[in-house]
């Protein structure tokens, strides 16, 4: 199939049909194709913009610049751009006119009832404040409005990747974890077909799980890495060097103080649970760039051969758009990549194998693209914790995207 040629001729209906058919016949070949990758990125951004412009609040936020621009009075008062372009300019990076101008086909109204999103969270989940869980407001709303279910895997917020495999297995085998709104699951039952979202450390946790438990691959329709630390983090390198020689028991005995040291004034001791399972040294060891790069090098071929497609969404911010206590780290990260998300570079947030596709660079910092606004008392201590990125639109686009590809039912 020549997807590139159909794209050049703007035969988008043909592209949708051809890509879906090719994926059904030979997913590894289809997802490795240059034209397919072009289409996937174009279509995901189109679906994101379609969902985002439905919300007047998102469009209103898109009319205000990020960083210091938010404090300007009516900076875009004579703005003549379309709503799609406003949202694209504000919340996407590395875009061009075709991303908002092309009139792509309207997606079907998919009835998705046989697939569950299993959400795999990252480091510090629930510890920055009690509501600091990925998509804590968005997934319940989507489930209520559309009937698309989310199961939150109870990945431990601070231990190694291999140890957290057990938490993913508990979600897939027994349906254990939390509901979309963080409430306990009264009658857990294992989901049938699933797709996974790995936010931050949840990304490498998923990779570790798939490498050690490839028998689950047939049940997994796809994996989204959402600012996933796929190649580790320079910040983790620094922290591990500082703590590697500390006594493990000493860290455990002073857990609350140690966590506050990582983000002074922002870590909530009320979020501590499963305390006896904490392994802070193990968590940062596994997030080192050298460890993650070696893991990827050793397992890239095996991961590609599983046939599970990966879709990467990365974040990008600037020092003036980051929280004040992350300013210095964002400046330091900018020495490696000006488009870092305050914790990861673009390269670190992607999985570089043929069956993996980078869909979009989202304009928001590492927390903005996953967490709801932080409480007012915290926003009073630092700017840029209001998190304006349209997370609900991005999630809805991802569901529709997978359904159109024929990957979920």
Q: What is the pLDDT of residues 253-288, one digit of tens each?
A: 777 777 777 665 566 666 788 988 999 999 999 999
Average pLDDT (340-365) is 98
pLDDT in tens, 4-14: 999 999 999 99
> What superfamily in CATH does domain 115-388 come from?
Alpha/Beta hydrolase fold, catalytic domain (3.40.50.1820)
Confidence at residue 385, expressed as pLDDT on a 0 to 100 scale? 96
Exposure b/e, 228-261, CB count within 10 A at least 16 = b: bbbbbbbbbbebbeebeeeeeeebeeeeeebbbe
State residue 259's pLDDT score.
74
Q: List CB contacts of 73: < 8 A, sequence separation 6 or more.
A: none
Position 70 pLDDT exceeds 90: no
- In angstroms, rounded to a whole number, what is the distance separating the alpha carbons of residues 48 and 311? 14
How confident is the model over 290-308, as a mean pLDDT? 98
Give the model confidence (pLDDT) of 133-154 as tens digits: 999 999 999 999 999 999 999 9
Q: What is the CA radius of gyration of the chain?
A: 21
Q: Is the pLDDT of residue 167 over 70?
A: yes
**Predicted pLDDT of residue 144:** 98
pTM recorded for the entire structure: 0.95
Q: 253 or 364, which is more confident? A: 364
In angstroms, how far is CA 361 from the centroid of its own chain?
11
Q: Is the pLDDT score of 112 beyond 60?
A: yes
Q: Which residue has the higher pLDDT, 292 or 73?
A: 292
The C-alpha angle with vertex 238 and arms to 252 and 262, in degrees rounded to 5, equals 45
Check residue 178 and report its DSSP letter. B
Report d(CA 372, CA 121) in Å as an integer.
14
Q: Which residue has the tokens 């509901």?
A: 179
Is residue 213 within 8 Å of residue 330, measured between CB atoms? Answer: no
With a pLDDT cut of 70, the percent of the chain lying above it is 95
Name the segment(s) of the chain with CATH classification 3.40.50.1820.
115-388
**DSSP assignment string, 359-403:** EEEEEB-TTTTTSPPPPHHHHTTSSS-S--S-HHHHHHHHHHHHH
Residue 88: exposure state from Cβ atoms within 10 A (0-12, 13-18, ≥19): buried
Question: In this predicted model, which residue has the larger pLDDT, 343 or 253?
Answer: 343
Tokens of 139: 């997934």
pLDDT of residue 66: 77
* pLDDT at position 255: 76
Alpha helix (H) residue ranges in 134-247: 138-146, 161-174, 202-212, 234-243
Q: How far apart are CA 51 and CA 395, in angstroms?
A: 9
The first and second tokens of residue 8, run together, are 């050049």
Once rounded to an integer, what is the mean pLDDT over residues 345-350? 98
Specify whether the CB–CB gap between 226 and 198 falls below 8 A: yes
Q: Please give the full DSSP string across 84-104, using - where no structure is assigned.
A: HHHHHHHHEES--HHHHHS-P
Taken as a whole, the chain contains a residue count of 409
How many helices (H) and strands (E) would you count in the chain? 18, 7
Residue indicated by tokens 């996937």: 40
- The pLDDT of residue 269: 67
* Core vs surface per residue 286-307: b (16+ CB within 10 A) or e: bbbbebbeebbeebeeebbebe
**Percent of the chain topping pLDDT 90:** 85
> In whole angstroms, how far apart are CA 101 and each of 10, 44, 83, 96, 231?
12, 14, 11, 9, 34
Each residue's pLDDT tens digit, 22-68: 999 999 999 999 999 999 999 999 999 999 999 999 999 999 887 66
Determine the pLDDT at residue 345. 98
- pLDDT for position 307: 97
C-alpha triplet 140, 321, 139: angle, nearest 5°: 5
CA of 134: how far to CAs of 100, 202, 275, in Å?
Answer: 27, 11, 21
**Predicted pLDDT of residue 335:** 95
């Amino acid at each position: 199939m020549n997807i590139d040629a159909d794209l050049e001729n703007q035969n988008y209906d043909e592209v949708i049909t051809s890509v879906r058919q090719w994926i059904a016949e030979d997913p590894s070949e289809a997802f490795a194709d240059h034209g397919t990758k072009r289409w996937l990125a174009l279509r995901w951004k189109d679906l994101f913009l379609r969902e985002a412009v439905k919300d007047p609040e998102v469009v209103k936020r898109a009319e205000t610049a990020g960083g210091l621009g938010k404090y300007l009075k009516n900076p875009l008062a004579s703005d003549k751009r379309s709503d799609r372009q406003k949202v694209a300019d504000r919340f996407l990076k590395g875009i061009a006119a075709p991303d908002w101008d092309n009139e792509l086909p309207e997606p079907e109204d998919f009835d998705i009832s046989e697939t569950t999103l299993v959400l795999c969270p990252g480091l510090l989940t629930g510890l920055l404040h009690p509501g600091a869980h990925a998509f804590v407001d968005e997934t319940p709303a989507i489930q209520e409005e559309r009937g698309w279910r989310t199961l939150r895997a109870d990945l431990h917020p601070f231990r190694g990747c291999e140890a957290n495999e057990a938490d993913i297995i508990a979600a897939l085998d027994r349906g254990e974890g939390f509901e979309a709104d963080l409430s306990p699951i009264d009658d857990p039952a294992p989901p049938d077909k699933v797709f996974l979202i790995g936010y931050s450390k949840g990304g490498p946790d998923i990779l570790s799980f798939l490498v050690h438990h490839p028998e689950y691959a047939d049940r997994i329709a796809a994996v989204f890495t959402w600012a996933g630390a796929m190649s580790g983090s320079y910040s983790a390198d620094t922290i591990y060097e500082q703590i590697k020689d500390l006594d493990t028991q000493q860290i455990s005995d002073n857990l609350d103080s140690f966590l506050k040291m990582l983000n002074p004034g922002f870590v909530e001791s009320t979020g501590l649970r499963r305390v006896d399972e904490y392994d802070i040294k193990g968590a940062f060891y596994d997030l080192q760039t050298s460890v993650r790069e070696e893991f990827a090098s050793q397992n890239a071929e095996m991961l590609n051969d599983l046939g599970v497609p990966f879709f990467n969404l990365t974040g990008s911010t600037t020092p003036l758009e980051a929280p004040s206590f992350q300013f210095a780290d964002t400046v330091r990260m900018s020495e490696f990549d000006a488009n870092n998300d305050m914790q990861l570079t673009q390269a670190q947030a992607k999985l570089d194998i043929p069956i993996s596709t980078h869909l979009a660079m989202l304009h928001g910092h590492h927390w903005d693209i996953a967490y709801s606004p932080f409480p007012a008392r915290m926003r009073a201590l630092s700017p840029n914790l209001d998190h304006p990125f349209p997370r609900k639109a991005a999630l809805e686009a991802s569901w529709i995207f997978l359904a159109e590809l024929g990957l979920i039912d």
